[in-house]
Structure 1
């Protein structure tokens, strides 16, 4: 595989929750800048309709990423008005969960107990999504996620905005770009807290962490060729896989898994 599995700071359990929240808010801002919500909504609308699903289970949600915006777009589409969204994470964002779960009559919820994307239970029926998070998984974990979706006959969508098109040894060149990006987009993040401003512009801890994790994300991203390796031996008469690149302000990689026969119908 081309990818390099370096460490990301956000992967560690000891990484401060407030710092993780600041960084995930920046990631949401990046998605909005790149127009990810519209592209994701089109992919998910197709997956929902083809699989006859009415529920999305988002894995590795962080602060929610672009999925809240995506759900609004989906609910505006005919036949998808009743689609619901459940956000999950191995390290649930307590602040985001409180805010989301406090909304009365909402079709979005945030599960407050940890959910390991590689060890899913029967409670995760519905369209599984991993948005800018699949690269966190080592190949064995990534393969388990794909196998689980196919075995349980649940649709899945993987969507990455990281760019792993450069030669592998140049992964570090994204560090200064990401540092500068953090400085530029912080005023656009919502909500912008005093802590986020202080540790961005006075003590640049957030830009340093954001620069490192962003550069490592690029190096970790599964290329289309890497996905072929992960998918080797998968796919059968009851399940199909589709991968590709979506153009736009930045090329994004996606992988769709869609059941062609419902669970429990036999092989």
Structure 2
């Protein structure tokens, strides 16, 4: 397997919640800049067509990511009845309060939800956006297998890219540091705390730059994903692994699509 599991600060339990919130709000800027919504919406639409109910259950949601915008885009395209449930193993209370005030038809599940054993009452399309690379192979396989075993439509999406030679992974760190300085003014909501720990005490640029670079080497390649899905096959469920591109950004975005199907 090409993927390597180095640490990311965002995964550490000792990282203060407010600092993790600042990091995830910055990542939302990257999603907007690269046009993740335009790539994700057609994938989620395909999954909804295979779902018995118009619900999207987002796994490992953190502060929400791009999924509220994806749902808004789907509603504008005629999917008025689609609902979004955000979940996480460690629910983000700040994000839950913010999203309940800002977005209609979006609910942040207050319970801790394990992505490898999603409760049966949370049926619908499962999505995990830029979260699969945080999981070790056994956990990642567990997430994929749980969707397959329960015949739930599934969409995984990754921005990070593991195609560069391993020896060059560290070169993304200085670029990530400078990008954080340049893009922080576009964070919404932009707080004084975000500004202070970006420009006066540059903790956030260091953490974001490291995590961004490490995300690349932690990302599963198409071959890695094929290995993870070995054995999770059946005639009434099919997997699709591929890449998609956005008009706004360079490179390819990796996705995994799981679709249950009715046998005739």
TM-score bracket, normalised by the shorter chain, equals: over 0.9
Runs of 4+ in 1 over 4 A off after TM superposition: none
For 1:179 and 1:52, the matched residues in 2 are separated by 44
Cα drift, residue 167 of structure 1: 1.1
TM-score in terms of structure 1 length: 0.94
Which residue is equivalent to 1:100?
Answer: 99
Which residue is equivalent to 1:51?
Answer: 51
Establish whether residue 243 from structure 1 lines up as the match of residue 221 from structure 2. no
Cα drift, residue 251 of structure 1: 1.1
- The equivalent position to 1:233 in structure 2, one of 231, 234, 257, is 231
Q: Secondary structure at the match of 1:257?
A: strand
Establish whether residue 8 from structure 1 lines up as the match of residue 8 from structure 2. yes
Which range moved further: 220-229 or 90-99?
90-99
Q: Secondary structure at the match of 1:124?
A: coil
8 Å CA contact retained: 1:153, 1:261 = no
- The equivalent position to 2:119 in structure 1, one of 97, 121, 144, is 121
Which residue is equivalent to 1:255?
Answer: 256
5 Å-filtered alignment, 1:36-185, equals 36-78=36-78, 80-102=79-101, 106-185=104-183
For 2:259 and 2:235, the matched residues in 1 are separated by 11
For 2:102 and 2:179, the matched residues in 1 are separated by 32
Cα drift, residue 103 of structure 1: 5.8
For 1:221 and 1:240, the matched residues in 2 are separated by 22
For 1:92 and 1:139, the matched residues in 2 are separated by 23
Root-mean-square deviation (CA), in Å?
Answer: 1.4
8 Å CA contact retained: 1:3, 1:223 = yes
Q: Secondary structure at the match of 2:6?
A: coil
Q: Runs of 5+ in structure 1 lacking a partner?
A: 263-267
Cα drift, residue 119 of structure 1: 2.8
Q: Secondary structure at the match of 1:191?
A: coil
Cα drift, residue 109 of structure 1: 0.4
- The equivalent position to 1:219 in structure 2, one of 214, 217, 220, is 217
For 1:169 and 1:227, the matched residues in 2 are separated by 22
Cα drift, residue 150 of structure 1: 0.6
8 Å CA contact retained: 2:238, 2:258 = yes
TM-score in terms of structure 2 length: 0.95
Q: Runs of 5+ in structure 2 lacking a partner?
A: none
Q: Secondary structure at the match of 2:157?
A: strand
